Amino acid sequence: MKNDEILRALNYRYACKSFDSNKKINDEDLKLILESGRLSPSSIGIEPWEFLVISNDELKNELANFAPGGKKQIPTCSHLVILLNRNANDLKADSEYLNELFNEDKHLPKEVSELLLKMIKDVNDNRFKNDEKEINHYSREQTYIALGTMLTTSSLLKVDSCVIGGYNAEAVTKLLSDRNILDTNHFNISCMLALGYRNENPAPKTRRTFEEVVKFIK
């Protein structure tokens, strides 16, 4: 892919406020977007995310009731991705999740796994003082890396998107946990991503200039 093709795709992306509800993302493109999130980097390789992919119209409409920032986008989008981040219990060095991740999923040598778990313990003890709120915040930060990757992949595929952060977290959590979709023992809701195809003509993208944003230090 050439440089100008990438720039065109990045300029194509905008925060879509109205989707064509009759136009759905095909399975191949949807999987590629989600794979790009799955393959994203994370601090110490902890991969503290899962993605709920919702296409059920009834559930989308219910969720929209608790999301003032997504009242138009959620009901009309093709798919709503809810990014989850693992909570502090799963990010302790002795947690079942981290030990399975390093030893069974990643198949790391024992000495490497032990080193990474020691690093995580040091971070939790010294940086976060084992404060669960701080650890949860750290976990949530990682999901935004995956979110950014999915946004870029979507734009390359000419799939429109809108990040939704304006929602009642308590109400959405209750709705999803009551339906046995969200396990609150392990996950918190990080943010939402509406995906689909635009049903509007956006204004041209405007940004600060390259020179204003980028400073080269030689």
Question: Is the residue at 2 inside a domain?
Answer: no
Distance CA 162, CA 193 (A): 6
- % pLDDT > 90, the chain: 97
Question: Is the residue at 29 inside a domain?
Answer: yes
Question: Is the residue at 170 inside a domain?
Answer: yes
Question: Is the residue at 191 inside a domain?
Answer: yes
Distance CA 30, CA 157 (A): 10
Provide the domain limits for residue 147. Answer: 9-213
Question: Is the residue at 76 inside a domain?
Answer: yes
| Number of Cβ within a 10 Å radius of residue 36 | 19
Looking at residue 141, its pLDDT comes to 97
Looking at residue 101, its pLDDT comes to 98
Task: Write the burial class of residue 91 (CB in 10 Å: 0-12 exposed, 13-18 middle, 19+ buried).
Answer: buried
Residue 14 has pLDDT above 90, yes or no: yes
Question: Is the residue at 3 inside a domain?
Answer: no
Looking at residue 1, its pLDDT comes to 81
Reading the block at residue 124, the tokens are 């939790």
pLDDT tens-digit readout, 160-170: 999 999 999 99
What's the number of domains the chain is made of?
1
pLDDT tens-digit readout, 17-41: 999 999 999 999 999 999 999 999 9
pLDDT tens-digit readout, 64-120: 999 999 999 999 999 999 999 999 999 999 999 999 999 999 999 999 999 999 999
Q: What is the mean predicted confidence (pLDDT) over 36-52?
A: 98
Distances (CA, A) of 144 to 43, 84, 111: 12, 10, 30
The residue that leads in pLDDT, 1 or 190, is: 190
| Number of Cβ within a 10 Å radius of residue 213 | 8
What CATH number is associated with residue 56?
3.40.109.10
Question: Is the residue at 4 inside a domain?
Answer: no
Looking at residue 200, its pLDDT comes to 87
Question: Is the residue at 46 inside a domain?
Answer: yes
Beta bridge partner(s), residue 188: 85
